[in-house]
Amino acid sequence: MPTAIVRNGYRYDGESVEIDQPITEQQFRAIERILGEPPARFKGWAERFCFDPPDPGRAAALLKYLREQNLSHSLERLETWTPVPNGEGR
């Protein structure tokens, strides 16, 4: 499980990015590199792909890549920053 990012008393809960169309294996591998994920099995038959960037910087990089590749996608913010009780996540 990734370590939570904590800033100024708030924890980053994340974003979920869904690609609404098939992608190539080359695009899939580029996304893995952007997200810093180890190689996974590529499913060429899949019609949708879902990724959960581990931090805001990687989320922004992923969205930029998807726009450059002209890939249809949606973004769901998961309470992006939530308060952290004192002492947690330090």
Provide the pLDDT confidence category of residue 1 given band limits of 50, 70 and 90: very low
Provide the pLDDT confidence category of residue 4 given band limits of 50, 70 and 90: low
Give the residue-averaged pLDDT of 14-42.
93
CATH number of 14-81: 3.30.70
Q: What would the DSSP string read from start to end of 21-75?
A: S---HHHHHHHHHHHTPPP----TT-S-EEE--SSHHHHHHHHHHHHHTT--EEE
Cβ atoms < 10 Å from Cβ of 59? 23
Is the pTM higher than 0.75? no
* Low-confidence winner among 7-11, 45-49, 52-56 (lowest mean pLDDT): 7-11
Cα 17 from Cα 75, distance rounded (Å): 5
Q: Which of 31, 28, 29, 84 is nearest to 54 (CA)?
A: 31
